Every structure is written in structure tokens, then in C-alpha cells.
Amino acid sequence: MKKLVFASVLFMSVFFAHAQQVSINVNIGTPPNWGPQGNDDSRYYYLPDIDVYYDVNQSVFIYESNGKWARDKKLPANYRQYDLYSGYKVVLNDYKGDTPYKYHAKHRASYPKGYQGKPQKNRGEKPKGNNGNQNGNSKGNNKGKENNNSKQQSSNKDHDHSNGKHH
């Protein structure tokens, strides 16, 4: 009888350990094409040019709105024309929780608007005829969609839209 109980406990612990591992793997999100190459295990990016975070696991942007932190699949309206492929992404590897903005003051001070760290290469190519965001995640699902803001983009000299790279 003791052997049967021991075998049952052993089986259950192995089963639950395996089940727990599977749930962890399921929660890991796929980084967007505009995300920096070589950081596939990172959960958050900080975009200093627009003072916004991106949560890879949930595929949402996190930004301050009316004094509260909001999460949305799209960038805030005032940044919808921001070129995610050209902008610098700070990869936050030192934070594992659900509220990266807990250290917002530190991030803002360390990575001010216009910050450029080590050169970055995006995970994927910038879609042709697209400003790099449309719906916020640009995972190749914008193919065939017409961009109605191309005139506004071509007159915007704040970003280099020619090849998606900063110099």
C-alpha cells in the first residue's frame, strides 16, 4: 500500500511540474517585426521618443493617459504616425513584473527623447507603403492595406522613412 501511495505522489508531482512548464511557455508572446533583433525573450520595450512601453506578452502599448496608465493594442492617437521601425527601442531585461512604469521616472531620465544606444536591427522588414504601425503590432498583417496618410508621412522630416534605420 505504501508503494502505491508513493508511486501516486511521484506521478502527480511529475505531471503537475510538466503542466506548469507548458503554461509558462504558452504565455510568452511573439515579438513584433519592428522589435529589436536578438531579444526574443524580453517582455518589455521602452520607446523613449514617445514615452511609451510595449508589452510583448500581451501585444499592447502601455502609456499614461489622464494621469492613469492605459493598455491598448494601438498607439495613443497623437502617436499613430510614429514609425515603430525607425524609432529606438530600449529593451527592459531587468524587470519581470506587470507594471514596468513603476520605474518610469528612472526610464525617462536614463533614456530621454531622442536616445540612441547601440545600433539595432529590427526582427523583420518594414512593410512597403506603411509607416510602420497601422494597428500597432505590424506582424505582417498589413499587407495589401492602403496607407491613407502617405502625404503626411512624406512631409514629416522628423523621421527617416527611407529604410527604417537611424544613422
| pLDDT per residue as tens digits for the range 5-38 | 555 555 555 555 554 444 343 446 799 999 999 9
Residue 78 is given by DSSP the state: G
pLDDT for 81 beyond 50: yes
pLDDT for 55 beyond 80: yes
* Residue 126 burial (CB count, 10 A): 20
In a domain, 46, yes or no: yes
In a domain, 20, yes or no: no
Within 28-125, where are the H helices?
Answer: 104-110
In a domain, 135, yes or no: yes
Name the 3-class secondary structure at 21: helix
In a domain, 167, yes or no: no
Assign 135 a pLDDT band (cuts: 50, 70, 90). very low
What is the domain range of residue 48? 27-155
Q: How many domains does the chain have?
A: 1
Q: Classify residue 112 by burial, with Cβ atoms within 10 Å: 0-12, 13-18, 19+.
A: exposed
pTM metric for this prediction = 0.64
pLDDT for 118 beyond 70: yes
pLDDT for 53 beyond 90: yes
In a domain, 141, yes or no: yes
In a domain, 131, yes or no: yes
Kindly state the average pLDDT of the residues 114-128. 93
pLDDT for 159 beyond 80: no
* Residue 61 burial (CB count, 10 A): 24
